[in-house]
Chain A
Amino acid sequence: MDMNMRTPLAKVHGLGSAREGSDHFWWQRVTAGVTLVFSLVVVIVLVALVGKDHATVHAAIASPFVSVPLLVFIVAGVSHMRLGMQVIIEDYVHTMGLKMIGLLANNFFAIFIVLACVFAVLKVAIGT
């Protein structure tokens, strides 16, 4: 007789007791890869813009060849850092209330940074 109490459906899903499976591990790597690829464009653009005046920088970011990679870089990078900070909080904060506040603050910070960056880039790219 099978002594395992898990249902056949749970075994097939393979998501464990937290119902997440290896999602966190997987998305940490997917967002890392996307950030890595698009950082090549972003780093080259940033180095080329060192010391340039506002008009030059504005025109560069307004180009879709810069703004689109920049937007992908920001969204992937912030998703990656949100997952990373979640692990740091879970590793070091063991008081339930503080941990909850920390994890919530982490999500709010990530959303705030994405909104600020995306708004700024779109405003420059679309105009005025």
Chain B
Amino acid sequence: MRETHAAHRPLSPHLQIYRPLINMVMSILHRMTGAALYVGTLLLAWWLISVSAGPHYFDYVNGFLASWPGRLVLFFYTWAFLHHMLGGIRHFIWDTGAGFEIRTVNLLCWLTIVGSLGLTLLFWTIGYMVMGKL
């Protein structure tokens, strides 16, 4: 298996050769947000454990999450989740065989990024309203 990559043959053109296109960027972001959410489950597990551990530890974890670095991580976590979710819906549409005209592909991809950013801002606005800070 290792030997297949040892020979110095010319490689096929890779990512950096191409001008970024929206569908390619969304494909890369789908995998990257998926990987980020994978690591992010540690945060969900930590928070749930803190709820079960009692008020003292819960306040400690909540204090970290409410700090500016904590909020930055949670903001990115929210976006990664919503982006991966909308990307998944896009893939469900493609799984039916629909939406493969290039105009539709581009439209669905733009909807993914605009939708994920918009929904993230919406949820955070609601979150701050729930806290009574807006």
Contact = CB atoms under 8 A, between A and B. Distances in A.
A120 B41 contact: no
Interface residue SS majority, chain B:
helix
A117 interface: yes
Interface residue SS majority, chain A:
helix
A64 B52 CA distance: 15
A24 interface: no
Size class of the contact patch on chain A: 35 or more
A120 B31 contact: no
Contact of B52 (A33, A96, A124): A124
A113 B46 CA distance: 9
A28 to B, nearest CB: 10
Contacts of A81: 34, 37-38, 41
Interface of B: 1-2, 4-5, 31, 34-35, 37-38, 41-42, 44-45, 48-49, 51-52, 54-55, 58-59, 66, 81, 85, 88-89, 91-92, 95, 123, 126-128, 130-131
